[in-house]
Chains A and B, each alone.
Chain A
Amino acid sequence: MSETREMQSNTILSLTDLRTWFELKRWGFIRAGYVKAVDGVTFELKRGEAITIVGESGSGKTTLLRTILGLAKLTGGEMLFAGRKIDSNNRRDLTWLRRQVGFVQQDPYGATPPFMNARRILSEPLIVNKVPEREQEHRIRAALKEVRLIPVDDFLPKFPHMLSGGQQQRLVVARALLLRPMLIVADEPVSMLDASVRVEVLELMRSIQESHNLGVIYITHDLSSVRYFSHRAFVMYAAKLVEKADVKDIVQSPLHPYTVTLLNAIPDPEPENVGRFKDIPAGEPPSLINPPNGCRFHPRCLRIIKGLCDTEQPPEFQPASGHFVECWLYK
């Protein structure tokens, strides 16, 4: 018992069989079905840990993130944040939750109002959350210093269009830090940035994560950019986490056939690529309204076991310690 309490105090976020379904309505009121955007996601995130959720667009990774942020209602399952159960119909829970989670958006220019200068952008969350005025200035300066937008006085009056892409993104990171959250979720934090500054932003996020002992969730479709900045990686396909393991294990010995093809598709800059055709399974991810029976990847899978994969949903297997995979091959 004491052990579980120990674990709980160290766990920031714990999701059990989380479901986020959106109702489809015909004529505005008749229920016609559900879009099962997140369908049975279970994981735990510890303090100071960074995880990556990899998946294609439409796999439900952004909905999962919105659920964690309290922007989408959960239809089933349980979400515990720092031991507190979150009820998405309870405004108190949500207000509390949103203070604990910082959000780094994908497109920094779209995420910052063009008519506000940096000082105004950063004071907004403090005003909304009623931080005393005398503390605001101090917090804004500390946050800017933390993301190395220095000298701070030069940056405070600047508008977003006066900043480069990397600086804009650092401003967004500063805003996410203002309320001193326990968890930062970043939706493709570097995909809009140039290659030469991506690593700079990621390194900044890691140093902040380590100094504050934060949890970080990266959502991305490109594993190569964040592999050095996260501890574990989860692969998402058609609303489910099909493989969960340490980043190193995912990259070096992927188990799920989907993970294997996904990793094969990511190119390294090598001249040999010119003459090489890649093996990419035909077809596209399934509709989330009527997902296929059995394993959701089976219509595209090359290693399908007939009579099993197409009828029964695989449970989670653990072929190696800390390596979970939802695939019948590892029964």
Chain B
Amino acid sequence: MRRNTRTRKQAVSERDGSPARPEGPVLQVEDLTLYFRVTAGVVKAVEEVTFDLARGRSLTIIGESGCGKTSLARAILRLLPRNVHTYTGTVLLNGADVMKLSDERFRREVRWKKISMVSQAAMNSLNPVLKVGFQVAEPLLIDTHTGKTEAYERAREVFDVVGIPAAFMDRYAFELSGGMRQRAIIAMALITDPDLIILDEPTSALDVLTQANIMNTLKGIKQELGLSFLLITHDIATSSELADEVICMYAGQLVEQSNGQRFYREPFHPYSQKLMASVPTLHVEKKPEFIPGQPPSLLNPPTGCRFAARCHKCFDRCEQEPPTFKYEDSKVKCWLYE
């Protein structure tokens, strides 16, 4: 099994003629900000988020719903709705600034070529009237000048990578189970051999066994193909399966960035601590807790620290907004770590 994947990997890289991926971090995001205009005012969905993602690593973004995780992913991929108010910051992909590209060039050169995405509820995003094989081959057929035979050949390869029998290429989406559909979507994201895949809640609609299977597949892909992942999820237990690095977001802001080893053992930010305490565990005896209150509205966020109202360690400094402090190897946005 292992050996097979390795030969597949060689086949993949030979075909593309790109023997090695470029050096340096895949993605560097600096002060990325995204506001939306709505009738009630301006929604500050993502505010000054800064992080790096090293090649071949996976970064997990966790946070509650409405904290701006998905908006962050969409801002990186520039999949924006019409009511954008502010969209600033820098996004460096392989060291090149992609924010400067025009929309058309971004579409042609970056989206799905360099960065692809497995979107939320991906199971339902397959077209019901087209065969799965065609849908997976489609990204190659559309923008690159790949012939049909070659594109289907490549589709067969990625089907193999994600663990779907090649015979399923001729099936329609409704003939596949949920897990198979999810794998097909992952195959679709892999087919252009991108540098980075953004996974937005890839397993949240699936059963535990299927979820574990998909996670195994993703880990395999990461090891064999050296891809980088950006995993966005609210399911903290599952997030640990693909977390070299962890970013915790709260109310549109990055509150903590740590490596996985540190974060799941002892998070620094009071919000991360509370969030980890709320995760139920099965194999370890621990009574889960909850965080009282609810996240602030992003229309009129509080001026000081945004978590202050729910924080158990709140003190008078918290009335001012904390900058992001470096603490040990981590970055924490909290006055406690000044």
Interface residues of chain A, those whose CB is within 8 Å of chain B, are: 56-57, 164-166, 194-200, 203, 221-225, 227-228, 251, 261-271, 273-274, 277-278, 280-281, 284
Cβ of A274 and Cβ of B208 under 8 Å apart?
Answer: no
The answer to whether A199 and B237 touch across the interface, beta carbons within 8 angstroms, is no
Closest B residue to A223 by beta carbon equals B282
Task: Establish whether residues A274 and B278, one from each chain, have CB atoms under 8 Å apart when the complex forms.
Answer: no
Is the C-beta of B241 less than 8 angstroms from some C-beta in chain A?
A: yes
Q: Interface size bucket, B side?
A: 35 or more
Q: Which of B15-23, B183-191, B259-267 contacts A (4 or more CB under 8 A)?
A: B259-267
Cβ–Cβ contact A221 & B290, under 8 A = no
Judged by a CB distance under 8 angstroms, whether B27 is at the interface is no
- Beyond A194-B65, A196-B64, A280-B212, is A266–B282 a contact (Cβ under 8 Å)? yes
Please indicate the chain A residues that have their CB under 8 angstroms from the CB of B220 in the complex.
Answer: 277
A265-B212, A277-B216 are known; give 5 further A-B pairs, CB within 8 A. A203-B290, A227-B282, A271-B260, A271-B263, A278-B215
Question: Which residues of chain B come closer than 8 Å to A228, judged between CB atoms?
Answer: 280, 287-288
Bound form: Cα–Cα A265–B278 in Å = 20
Q: When chains A and B are docked, how far (Å) is the Cα of A222 from the Cα of B280? A: 10
Q: Give complex CA distance A75, B216 in Å.
A: 40
A197 nearest CB neighbor, chain B only: B290
A199 with B64, Cβ < 8 A, contacts A278-B212, A280-B209 known = no
| Chain B residues at the A interface, C-beta cutoff of 8 Å | 58, 64-65, 177-179, 207-213, 215-216, 219-220, 234-244, 260-265, 274-276, 278-284, 287-292, 294
Instruction: Please determine whether A269 and B213 come into contact, CB atoms closer than 8 angstroms.
Output: no
Q: Given A200-B290, A228-B287, A277-B219, are A265 and B282 also a contact pair (CB < 8 Å)?
A: no
Q: Which residue of A lies closest to B180 (CB)?
A: A284
Task: Enumerate chain A residues within 8 angstroms of B282, measured Cβ to Cβ.
Answer: 223-224, 227, 251, 263, 266, 268
B296 to A: closest C-beta gap in Å: 12
Chain A residues within an 8 Å CB radius of B210: 56
A218 CB to closest chain B CB, in angstroms?
13
Nearest B residue to A263 via CB reads: B282
Q: Which 5 A-B pairs have the closest CB atoms?
A: A265-B212, A224-B282, A200-B290, A199-B290, A196-B291
Instruction: State how many angstroms separate the Cβ of B264 from the closest Cβ of chain A.
Output: 5
Please pick, from A166, A203, A269, A278, the residue contacting B237 in the complex, using a CB distance under 8 A. Answer: A269
A269-B281 CB under 8 A given contacts A194-B234, A196-B291, A199-B289: yes
23 contacts between A and B (CB under 8 A): A56-B207, A56-B209, A195-B64, A195-B235, A195-B278, A196-B278, A198-B278, A198-B288, A199-B280, A199-B289, A221-B208, A228-B287, A262-B208, A265-B211, A266-B282, A267-B212, A267-B240, A267-B241, A269-B240, A277-B216, A278-B212, A280-B209, A284-B179
